[in-house]
């Protein structure tokens, strides 16, 4: 097969795969967006890849890690699809077998996701069937390229001698050293090499037109399917909700809590800027009218609550800073928000947990689990079953209609979004999602601090410079923040006021900068008197440690 033919064959395979994926999207509108092949397979990849690779993706792409995964999966699929196209030209059955194999992978991925049923196999089955049909159209059907392959021209009927072709029965003179060299005697004396046959122009036009139309159809179907899935989502239901006023409003943010400096994170993180790290490739769409929370397990009495039940209860409002365990030293996977919800302590008291139930397992609608120490939900801290964020119903991507918020614990052991179950159990009996993947069963937040301004590698002008940032030690609070320059003595920074020990605090320090390159470091001491350690530790297994350090140049 010529290089040109291989390219056309690869295009045929890619077109077939694009149609399979694109058409599966509108089908998945009926069965649920998590059943779409790309999303289903991506979900399996998220669960199966080594933790080191998953953390690398978070470090590299941040909150865009899910988009990167879907794009990477699509590119990988495109590579295999191109190979199947080339194989199909040699033998159509090979290409069809490849598409069938990928369809089977999509079916298996969809059916093994939490809460799946047989209907979830439909998008992959329909997509694979149409993909196989498209491949046939290009390899053996009306869009077939003519010719796909070429063969060397047929040699003359007999040997060629210097006098021309040798008739059957005649012998060719042979010298002791071997056959007599043959001297061409005319146009028929020898076989000249012949290149690949020219592709028929009409065939090429038909092939390229067909692939263009089908690729366009696949893109429209795919994007249209995603759009329809969004229209069938819960945004309208969320917009219609009017949250009741809290019986216990949050304390007012004190004057001066937000220093309002350029590059310094605001004291209250807006919803659109709040970090999002979870395993959901598509945001779960949970209807608040049908949502239920079941609290069960090692309890005296099992209870089930509806969304209306929660809104009818006395709600409290609290500022709480949440942090991801994947946040590196100096990272931005942290945010502070105003949460509205029901105290979890009250709900747990109503179900009467057993004395040995030391873990509460939160389960999301998509099957994700986290294990929270029961004591942390009953020790008086403002652990909430939250329904509101910054004065509005929870954003869909942040857990609508209901999520868990617990001060002082990393999100992987507490912040269950789209929560539908709370099971009282024991740490000895159950490992939540991240524990078998190398993370600690319990994740108290470590004391940390960050320099927001100036930024690393900034070029500054000699003279007064305001160094500022944030520090946090949720449920303990920050007592002191210190900054030093070029390994010099530690200088105490000024702390801004804060609402409570459950939120971060802004700090600032005036530096008389001198010309040259300088290294700035920060450290914080929590309210218990413990100063954050200089020892550098990766985020695995229970959070990063070390001092945030930046280098700046002063002119």
Cα separation, 298 vs 304, whole angstroms:
15
Evaluate if residue 153 carries a pLDDT over 50: no
Q: Where are the domains of the chain?
A: 6-145+204-229, 271-437, 448-554
Fold of 448-554: Immunoglobulin-like (2.60.40)
What is the 8-class DSSP label of residue 510? E
Angle between helices 92-111 and 65-90 (to 10 degrees): 150
Q: What is the pLDDT of residue 165?
A: 47
Strand partners, 516: 554
pLDDT band at 163 (very low <50, low <70, confident <90, very high): very low
Computed over every residue of the chain, the mean pLDDT equals 89
Inter-residue long-range contacts of 110-113, CB under 8 Å, 24+ positions, other chains counted: 110/34, 110/35, 110/37, 110/40, 112/44, 113/34, 113/35, 113/40, 113/43, 113/44, 113/366, 113/367
The pLDDT tens digits for 373-393 are 999 999 999 999 999 999 999
Q: What is the pLDDT of residue 16?
A: 95
pLDDT band at 130 (very low <50, low <70, confident <90, very high): very high
The token pair at 48 is: 């199966």
Q: What is the pLDDT of residue 343?
A: 98
The pLDDT tens digits for 528-542 are 999 999 999 999 999
Determine which helix (DSSP H) or strand (DSSP E) holds 393, and give its type and residue range: strand 392-393
Q: What is the pLDDT of residue 457?
A: 79
pLDDT band at 235 (very low <50, low <70, confident <90, very high): confident
The pLDDT tens digits for 327-352 are 999 999 999 999 999 999 999 999 99
Give the pTM.
0.79
The pLDDT tens digits for 39-89 are 899 888 888 878 777 778 777 777 677 788 888 888 889 999 999 999 999
Determine which helix (DSSP H) or strand (DSSP E) holds 43, and give its type and residue range: helix 37-48
Q: What is the pLDDT of residue 174?
A: 45
Higher pLDDT, 343 or 33: 343
pLDDT band at 489 (very low <50, low <70, confident <90, very high): very high
Cα separation, 131 vs 137, whole angstroms:
10
* CA atoms within 13 Å, Cβ hemisphere of 95: 31
Evaluate if residue 227 carries a pLDDT over 80: yes
CATH of domain 271-437: 3.90.420.10
The pLDDT tens digits for 283-323 are 999 999 999 999 999 999 999 999 999 999 999 999 999 99
The pLDDT tens digits for 195-209 are 455 678 888 899 999
- Cis peptide bond upstream of 542, omega within 30: no
Evaluate if residue 483 carries a pLDDT over 50: yes
């Amino acid at each position: 097969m010529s290089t040109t033919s291989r390219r056309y064959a690869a295009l045929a395979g890619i077109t077939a795969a694009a149609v399979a994926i694109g058409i599966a999207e509108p089908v998945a509108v009926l069965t649920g967006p998590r059943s779409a092949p790309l999303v289903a397979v991506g979900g399996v990849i998220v669960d199966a890849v080594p933790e080191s690779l998953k953390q690398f993706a978070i470090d590299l792409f941040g909150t865009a890690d899910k988009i990167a995964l879907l794009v990477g999966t699509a590119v990988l699929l495109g590579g295999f699809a191109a190979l199947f196209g080339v194989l199909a030209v040699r033998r159509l059955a090979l290409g069809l077998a490849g598409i069938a194999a990928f369809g089977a992978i999509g079916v298996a991925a969809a059916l093994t996701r939490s809460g799946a049923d047989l209907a979830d196999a439909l998008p992959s089955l329909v997509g694979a069937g149409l993909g196989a049909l498209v491949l046939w159209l290009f390899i053996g059907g009306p869009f077939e390229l003519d010719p796909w392959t070429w063969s060397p021209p047929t040699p003359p009927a007999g040997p060629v001698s210097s006098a021309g072709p040798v008739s059957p029965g005649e012998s060719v003179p042979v010298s002791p050293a071997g056959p007599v060299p043959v001297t061409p005697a005319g146009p028929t004396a020898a076989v000249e090499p012949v290149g690949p046959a020219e592709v028929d122009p009409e065939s090429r036009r038909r092939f390229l037109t067909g692939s263009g139309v089908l690729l366009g159809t696949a893109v429209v179907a795919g994007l249209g399917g995603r759009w329809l899935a969004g229209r069938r989502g819960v945004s309208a239901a969320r917009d219609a909700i009017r949250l009741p006023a809290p019986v216990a409003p949050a304390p007012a943010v004190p004057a001066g809590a937000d220093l309002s400096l350029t590059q310094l994170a605001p004291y209250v993180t807006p919803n659109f800027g709040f970090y999002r790290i979870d395993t959901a490739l598509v945001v779960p769409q949970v209807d608040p009218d049908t949502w239920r929370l079941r609290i069960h397990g090692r309890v005296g009495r099992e209870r089930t609550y509806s969304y209306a039940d929660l809104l009818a209860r006395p709600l409290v409002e609290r500022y709480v800073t949440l942090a991801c365990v994947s946040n590196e030293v100096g990272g931005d996977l942290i945010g502070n928000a105003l949460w509205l919800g029901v105290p979890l302590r009250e709900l747990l008291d109503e179900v009467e947990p057993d004395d040995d139930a030391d873990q509460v397992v939160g389960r999301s609608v998509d099957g994700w689990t986290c294990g929270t120490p029961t004591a942390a939900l009953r020790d008086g801290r403002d652990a909430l079953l939250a329904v509101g964020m910054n004065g509005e119903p929870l954003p869909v991507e942040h857990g609508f209609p209901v999520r868990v918020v617990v001060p002082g614990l990393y999100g992987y052991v507490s912040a269950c979004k789209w929560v539908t179950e709370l099971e009282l159990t024991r740490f000895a009996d159950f490992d939540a999602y991240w524990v078998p993947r190398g993370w600690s069963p319990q994740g108290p937040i470590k004391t940390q601090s960050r320099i927001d301004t100036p930024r690393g590698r900034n070029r500054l002008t000699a003279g007064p410079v305001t160094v500022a940032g944030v520090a946090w030690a949720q449920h303990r609070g920050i007592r002191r923040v210190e900054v030093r320059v070029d390994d010099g003595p530690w200088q105490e920074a000024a702390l801004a006021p804060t609402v409570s020990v459950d939120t971060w605090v802004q700090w600032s320090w005036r530096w008389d900068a001198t010309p040259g390159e300088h290294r700035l470091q920060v450290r914080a001491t929590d309210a218990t008197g413990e100063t954050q350690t200089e020892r550098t530790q990766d985020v695995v297994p229970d959070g990063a440690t070390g001092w945030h350090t930046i280098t700046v140049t002063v002119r």
